[in-house]
Amino acid sequence: MLRRLAFCLPLALVVAACGGGDDSPDAATTVETLAPATTIVVPDGSDACEDAPDPADYEATVPVVRRPCELPTEVTTTVVVDGVGYAAEPGDGVIYQVTAIDASDGSLIGSTWTTGQPTNIPQIALGATPDTTVPGSTDATTPTTTPSSVPATEGTLDEELIGAQVGARIRIDVPAGTPGAGALFGGATVPAETPVTYVIEPVVVVPPLVAADSPRDLTIAPSVDATEVTFVDPVVGDGKVVELGDTAVVAMMMLRGDNEVVLFDSWYQGQPLVISLLPELMGGAEPATLPGVFEGLQGARVGGTRVISMPPEDAFGADGRPLLGLPPNTDVIVVAEILGAY
């Protein structure tokens, strides 16, 4: 069973929620999805296999998946389309889209592209030795320009994600009999005798959070009797812009607005938050997150840090949060580092 990132802060603390088809007659070819006009294409016929991945098949929003013409005899990982930014290291968390097919006949096992909800591994390859070189490049930041193979590492399949970067399209061929062959596809039960081909796109790579990186030395203006949500960006990111409907992965520190006493710090907790910005999750008695966080995260860029100040009505209201040390009708300040968004 694939492990899940422990990315959600308990509801009692910050009301953060993790963001969140029937087979057709020719299920080996396409699968209708929950997202309109999105299909997983698994070609059927003489061109249904490939000796080497064609980057053109992998650059579409939803990649075409072809079985290997020869069944794999060892785990083989190929970066077909290069990603950008930080390369995953042992101990990092990776959130990714994935399609899995039976490598022997091309039939579809499953795909997260059909649900719109990526899967994840909380800490990859803890037993592996870090390799800071992106496969096919000369340093940790230079992407390749042609498909490149990642040397397989002994151990679990999650070690194949060492060096993975956001936006990459990675193909992993797994021979029959490999222990944990289905582990990269959450929720799928893959018999040990089934060879598997995966196509993976990392959407967020999250290094471990440590207390030493907490922004407690950041100069922040107090917030008292605020009448609206406001924000400043002490660090402006250069990645994706967080938009309405996205899921944001953040490291967060929460403070009382008046005296700036820290109420919660995910750097000290050692785990980030996954916060859904779907409007439909904000109604009712238990919204997906604080209204001030919902409003304040929109427009921030991945890689940046945003300080959000909010009045009580956009935070914990007239009741406050006594267990956190937050009195009634008190402003709240949130410092959020945007680690990723999808």
Task: Give the predicted TM-score (pTM) of the model.
Answer: 0.76
The whole domain housing 237 covers 211-341
In this structure, how many other beta carbons lie within 10 angstroms of the beta carbon of residue 258? Answer: 15
**Residue 78: which H helix or E strand, with range?**
strand 76-81
Say if 105 falls within a structural domain: yes
Secondary structure class of 229 (helix, strand, coil): coil
CA distance 178 to 157: 9
How does residue 180 score in pLDDT terms, banded at 50, 70 and 90? confident
Percentage of the chain with pLDDT > 90?
A: 60
Tell me whether residue 11 is in a domain.
Answer: no
Judged by DSSP in three states, 123 sits in: coil
Asked if 170 and 267 sit in the same domain, the reply is no
Domain membership of residue 23 (yes or no) is no
Same domain, 279 and 219: yes
The total domain count for the chain is: 2
Residue 41 CB coordination number (10 Å)? 17
* Distance separating alpha carbons of residues 334 and 264, to the nearest angstrom: 9
Residue bearing the bigger pLDDT, 330 or 48: 330
Residue 167's CB is within 10 A of a number of other CB atoms, namely 15
Q: Does residue 7 sit within a domain?
A: no
Q: What CATH number did the domain enclosing 187 receive? A: 3.10.50.40
**Pairing status of strand 67-68 against strand 49-50:** parallel
Count of residues in the chain: 342
Whether 10 is in a domain gets the answer no
* Residue 44 pLDDT: 54
Over residues 188-204, the mean pLDDT reads: 87
Amino acid letter at 86? Y
Closest CA to 339 of 206, 147, 172, 152: 206
Q: What is the pLDDT of residues 302-336, one digit of tens each?
A: 999 999 999 999 999 999 999 999 999 999 999 99
